[in-house]
Structure 1
Amino acid sequence: MTQSSQTNFDLIVLGTGSAGQNVATSCREKDWSVAIIDPRPFGGTCSQRGCDPKRVLAGAAELIARSRNLKGKGIAGENAIFWSDLMAFKETFVEGIPESTEEKFEKAGIAYFHGTASFTDTNTIRVGEHELTGGKILIATGAKPATLDIEGEELLMNSEGFLDLEKLPEKIAFIGGGYISFEFAHIAAEAGAEVHLIHNNDKPLKNFDPDLVEALVESLKKVGIRFHLNTKTEKISRSGEHYIVEAKEEGKALTLEVGAVIHGAGRVPNIEELDLDKGNVEADKKGVTVNDHMRSVSNPDVYAAGDVSGSPGLPLTPIAGLEARAVTANLLDEGNKTPNYTATPSVVFTYPMLAAVGMTEAEAKDSGKDIKVNILDMSDWYTYKRMGESPSMAKVILDKNDGTILGAHVLNSNAEHLINYFTIAMRHGLTAEQLGDTLFAYPTDGSDVQYLLEL
């Protein structure tokens, strides 16, 4: 379906997620003729099949955990999750997004096409029966679950499937030790399921501080999540309404019978169907190979942004927006704008939350800088003790020479806020002394920041 019979455009955008929409609408506002293409319902992953609906479910799980922490401290009993009601509530956040996105394109005068796009030459895109020519082309097709080379892999449910479960299985297994598995495992456990998390080595959440990850794992074990580390999944099969997971745990056979097996073992750039070779667009396992200005190194008329780009940026929604703004500036102004990735925060929305920004302790030590590492157990601090919260931890890495903050890592219910304070300081060059001198309202998580920054 298309809004226009036009076939020549100033810009063709592949993908209707945050990066694609941002560039398409910005260029259209400058009177560029723009076409946008997507085989999935318009609106992208984050808003419909990822971060936004996930956080709705995680909020309910967090409430259950917070209630449990205060049981016997003034709260009479525990709450419970009614899965069908929670899923209905989640749906209110995602329903209507494809239609409203399409309406936005129509109002803006952007030609839209539903279908799979592929290059036929350097400036031509085929979608269905249409051949479109673009002066410039933006690839913003996002990421998809990685292939795991497991026998019976086709039986795996991905994160999208989990977010649409009408009924939560009594037993559920997650393959992979990344943030998707951790977040969904916590949600399922707080909703009453027996949860198994299978990871092929002993380092889950590898991009986060290992000391805080260890504390998070121990905390989630108390919720009932069963961790199978150093475990290789070898086969998945079906038995009636159930699935059989066969694995080797520390070299010994492990067999689980569960109601669903969820793929949480990473995502890869979504480029398979694009026929990039025909467009003279280079790519590797990291995505479309781009220069510092998000431009294809092999085809100067092609740009990439978001999870599909092979840029140094993390696969996070704010990075997609950052890269999209750079692409827009470089298209409209023929400039050389480079995305500034300084201090990119990331959060694992379990309970407690795990957040990180900047260097890990190992990276800081390898940098050759003269560093100070502050590791603090905050469980007895007023802010967390009043909520019955344990563990609560932080690790902050400082440069002794100039007083700057090199990295911050937080594990507690306020991690999503604390990490943003550190991010502001790091991105804008504030020293530990300057951030510590900031007046925050008391008593709040911010008023504790000064005690994490001692040089």
Structure 2
Amino acid sequence: MNPSLPLSKSNTMGFEHYDIFVIGTGSAGRKVAVSCAKEGMKVAIADNREYGGTCANRGCDPKKVLLNASEIIARTTDLAAVGITEVPKIDWQALQKFKEKFVSAMPIKTEESLEEVGIKMYHQSPEFLEDGLLIVEGKKVTYDKVVIATGLIPRPLHFKGAELFKISDDFLDLPELPDSMIFIGGGYIAMEFAHIAARCGVDVTIIERGKSILKHFDENIAAYLQKISEDIGVKFILNASVTGAEMLQKNTRVYYEQNGKEKDVKAMMVFNTSGRVPSIEMLSLEKANITTTPKGIKVNKFLQSTSNPNVYACGDVADSGALPLTPLSSKEGSHVAKQLTSGKHEEYTFAAIPTSVYTTPQLATVGLTEEQAKEQDIEYKVLSEHVPDWFSVKRLNSRDYCYKTLKGPNDEILGAEILAPEASEMINLFAMAIQQKLTCTQFRQTIFAYPTFASDMQSMV
């Protein structure tokens, strides 16, 4: 068959045909596949890695298991001066075995759930031959609609010695911790891993090309978290661009440029945590006229490809304007599935989206930042305070507690950012308040259990 010819019944005879072909088995892809299969559609799904996606296998879930241990060290260290007589030590190998109980079961459970509803599974990344035609596992298959939900992968590095850098997958599977580590990039992943490693006794350095870490957060609060990180031994090299790396006998030497000068630093292990990019290179999207941007598949307000109406994208790989977060991926998958099963287009609208950095203390945000409010010409008032004397942290013998909230002209909550031991839980209440359009007055009138971090939040608006 000549791939340049348009598809027709005559030139696709003998090929397996699917109503829906889903690429990616993370939360977005699974949601689409299962929903469509339950409606009687013939569905296939493919993945070139273990089924279940990044979050469950090599992202959020295993990371949080490891973080639990560092949180305990942080908490007991703070309380050592007020009655806790011994700070615990971490048995890294035992902790890894515990983590594997969660991770190892996921691929099998995922495949079993897909098989239950009659979904055909492929264990390879498909490649587009043209619109309506894919090749996967050496077989050509046709489809009516395809859904791309392949997520993100670590950003490739392009300098001499780049192959020496490990990625987040490697950190999560480390059989033992080295004496020293370097992370490139000062984002979520680097900060979270740095806190785990530093509290387990590792000498940690973060090299960030920008002037500050965590660029999506308030600069002052991010700077405060940086100071806390420095207090536990994390070193920061800012305004620095990595230019190369070389292997020494025991260490890897990393070269960087800072203020026009070439400098270097070395560690036993180095990690590329410089960001993530869409996982689309292997798909040959151009053959199916699928337009992309640096952020992923270019989609319209229906999460449909702007250049090919037979293609939808959801989750982190879709350039939808949303943050790359697991709960959002699942919502987008549900939205795409609803349209595919109903045959009706429906505009996708974003809810208030909270996001957290799981350091200790945690940093979390939801809604508008001050910069966004200015860009959108929205009138606002800032309430911001460092509150080390509030009971919630004082009882933990900690001083690491601050917040910043934005109020609108009509008493509405526009956005919030919190640095606190339980910020990831607290921010959910602000997300609900923003989504339900509660005013600051209504939020303050709600009765919360006391003394809790939630009850503190009423003083933040």
Cα-to-partner distance string for 1:132-164 (whole Å, 9 max, x where unaligned): 111110000111111232221111101001101
Distance (whole Å) between structure 1 residues aligned to residue 279 and residue 379 of structure 2: 41
Q: Match for 2:193: what amino acid?
A: F
Aligned equivalent of 2:97, options 66, 88, 94: 88
SS in 2 for 1:315: coil
Q: Show the counterpart of 2:4.
A: none
Distance (whole Å) between structure 1 residues aligned to residue 259 and residue 73 of structure 2: 33
SS in 1 for 2:198: helix
Distance (whole Å) between structure 2 residues aligned to residue 81 and residue 434 of structure 1: 45
SS in 2 for 1:69: helix
Aligned equivalent of 1:240, options 238, 244, 249: 249
Q: CA RMSD in A?
A: 1.3
The reply on whether 1:443 has 2:451 as its aligned counterpart is yes
SS in 2 for 1:165: coil
The reply on whether 1:327 has 2:343 as its aligned counterpart is no
Q: Match for 2:449: what amino acid?
A: A
Distance (whole Å) between structure 2 residues aligned to residue 283 and residue 366 of structure 1: 26
Aligned equivalent of 1:10, options 2, 19, 22: 19
Cα-to-partner distance string for 1:419-438 (whole Å, 9 max, x where unaligned): 11110011111111111111
- Compared CA separation, residues 11 and 366, structure 1 to 2 (3 A): closer
Q: Show the counterpart of 1:360.
A: 369
1:324-403 residue pairs with structure 2 within 5 A?
A: 324-399=333-408, 401-403=409-411
Residues 286, 309 of structure 1: 8 Å contact kept: yes
Q: Show the counterpart of 1:97.
A: 106
Distance (whole Å) between structure 1 residues aligned to residue 288 and residue 212 of structure 2: 39
Aligned equivalent of 2:435, options 402, 414, 427: 427
The reply on whether 1:413 has 2:421 as its aligned counterpart is yes
Once the two structures are TM-superposed, the CA of residue 59 in structure 1 deviates from its matched residue by: 1.1
Q: Show the counterpart of 1:165.
A: 174
1:3-402 residue pairs with structure 2 within 5 A?
A: 7-399=16-408, 401-402=409-410
Distance (whole Å) between structure 2 residues aligned to residue 251 and residue 219 of structure 1: 29
Distance (whole Å) between structure 2 residues aligned to residue 216 and residue 202 of structure 1: 14
Gaps of 5+ in 1: none
Distance (whole Å) between structure 1 residues aligned to residue 24 and residue 140 of structure 2: 17
Once the two structures are TM-superposed, the CA of residue 245 in structure 1 deviates from its matched residue by: 0.8
Distance (whole Å) between structure 1 residues aligned to residue 15 and residue 121 of structure 2: 11
Cα-to-partner distance string for 1:108-140 (whole Å, 9 max, x where unaligned): 110001112110111111112111111110000
Distance (whole Å) between structure 2 residues aligned to residue 129 and residue 187 of structure 1: 43
Distance (whole Å) between structure 2 residues aligned to residue 225 and residue 438 of structure 1: 40
SS in 2 for 1:27: helix
Once the two structures are TM-superposed, the CA of residue 105 in structure 1 deviates from its matched residue by: 1.7
Distance (whole Å) between structure 2 residues aligned to residue 337 and residue 240 of structure 1: 59
SS in 2 for 1:79: coil
Cα-to-partner distance string for 1:323-358 (whole Å, 9 max, x where unaligned): 111101111112222333231110000001000111
Please identify, of 359-368 and 402-411, the stretch whose mean Cα deviation from structure 2 is larger. Answer: 359-368
Q: Match for 1:169: what amino acid?
A: P
Distance (whole Å) between structure 1 residues aligned to residue 23 and residue 113 of structure 2: 16
Q: Match for 1:286: what amino acid?
A: K
Distance (whole Å) between structure 2 residues aligned to residue 396 and residue 359 of structure 1: 9
Distance (whole Å) between structure 2 residues aligned to residue 250 and residue 189 of structure 1: 27
Distance (whole Å) between structure 2 residues aligned to residue 52 and residue 394 of structure 1: 27
Query: With structure 2 as the length reference, what TM-score do the two structures score?
Result: 0.95
Once the two structures are TM-superposed, the CA of residue 53 in structure 1 deviates from its matched residue by: 0.3
Query: With structure 1 as the length reference, what TM-score do the two structures score?
Result: 0.96
Once the two structures are TM-superposed, the CA of residue 203 in structure 1 deviates from its matched residue by: 2.2
Distance (whole Å) between structure 1 residues aligned to residue 314 and residue 115 of structure 2: 23
Residues 296, 304 of structure 1: 8 Å contact kept: yes
Residues 144, 267 of structure 1: 8 Å contact kept: yes
Cα-to-partner distance string for 1:37-75 (whole Å, 9 max, x where unaligned): 011011110001000000111111111001111111111
Cα-to-partner distance string for 1:393-442 (whole Å, 9 max, x where unaligned): 0001101x211111100001010121111100111111111111110011
Distance (whole Å) between structure 2 residues aligned to residue 70 and residue 337 of structure 1: 53
Distance (whole Å) between structure 1 residues aligned to residue 369 and residue 85 of structure 2: 41
Once the two structures are TM-superposed, the CA of residue 6 in structure 1 deviates from its matched residue by: 7.5
Gaps of 5+ in 2: 1-13
Structure 1 outlier segments of 4+, above 4 Å: none
SS in 2 for 1:215: helix
Distance (whole Å) between structure 2 residues aligned to residue 429 and residue 113 of structure 1: 44
Once the two structures are TM-superposed, the CA of residue 258 in structure 1 deviates from its matched residue by: 1.2
Distance (whole Å) between structure 2 residues aligned to residue 361 and residue 13 of structure 1: 39
> Percent identity, aligned pairs only?
40
Distance (whole Å) between structure 2 residues aligned to residue 237 and residue 137 of structure 1: 43
Residues 15, 142 of structure 2: 8 Å contact kept: no
Cα-to-partner distance string for 1:362-388 (whole Å, 9 max, x where unaligned): 222343333211112121101110001
Distance (whole Å) between structure 1 residues aligned to residue 399 and residue 16 of structure 2: 60
Distance (whole Å) between structure 2 residues aligned to residue 117 and residue 337 of structure 1: 28
Residues 322, 339 of structure 1: 8 Å contact kept: no
Residues 139, 305 of structure 1: 8 Å contact kept: yes
